[in-house]
């Protein structure tokens, strides 16, 4: 395997590494293995691992989701992906070693491609822990006021139209 860092499709064997990365990156807002397994089982096309050699440095979890529905709750199992007109970027988590590599921008471009494949008009996400400034720089705009609740204070629902810069 190449020593260059790259994204690849996620498999079930990657789930323990996904949980470990989530624990490091998200702390109190991490999710259980069952949540990641649920997303992978229902929409594997939206799940990827960022790695250097065989060392996982990050992950991406995304899937179609109805625009008029609430974002999936933290740790919730979907059970199925409903008919959707929007694309939901559930999580991009990168260890410190992956930051500055362009992995975030590449993952965002991946989500845009998947959204187009699914015929979605936009991508939505919940920005937590101050990540809204990063997402704003990626072309996402705020949808309503800050979200209170399970995502922690200062969380924001954000949206980007497909084709936006």
E-strand stretches of 45-134: 47-52, 55-65, 86-94, 122-127
Domains of the chain with CATH codes: 5-161 (3.40.630.30)
Residue 150, pLDDT above cutoff 50:
yes
* CA distances for 109 relative to 73, 84, 94, 150, 163, angstroms: 24, 20, 16, 27, 10
Mean pLDDT across 59-75: 92
Mean pLDDT across 128-139: 88
Residue 131 confidence (pLDDT):
86
| Span 48-62, pLDDT tens digits | 999 998 899 999 999
| Span 28-43, pLDDT tens digits | 888 999 999 999 999 9
pTM: 0.91
């Amino acid at each position: 395997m190449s020593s260059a860092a790259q994204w690849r499709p996620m498999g079930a064997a990657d789930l323990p590494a996904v949980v470990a990365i989530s624990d490091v990156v998200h702390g109190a807002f991490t999710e259980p293995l069952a949540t990641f397994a649920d997303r992978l089982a229902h929409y594997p096309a939206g799940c990827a691992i960022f790695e250097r050699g065989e060392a996982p440095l990050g992950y991406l979890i995304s899937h179609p989701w109805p625009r008029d529905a609430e974002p999936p709750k933290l740790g919730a199992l979907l059970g199925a992906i409903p008919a959707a007109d929007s694309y939901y970027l559930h999580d991009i988590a990168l260890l410190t070693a992956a930051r500055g590599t362009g992995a975030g921008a590449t993952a965002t471009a991946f989500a845009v491609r998947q959204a187009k494949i699914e015929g979605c008009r936009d991508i939505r996400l919940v920005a937590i822990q101050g990540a809204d400034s990063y997402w704003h720089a990626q072309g996402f705009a705020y949808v309503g006021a800050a979200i209170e609740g399970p995502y922690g204070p200062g969380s924001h629902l954000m949206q980007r139209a497909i084709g936006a810069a």
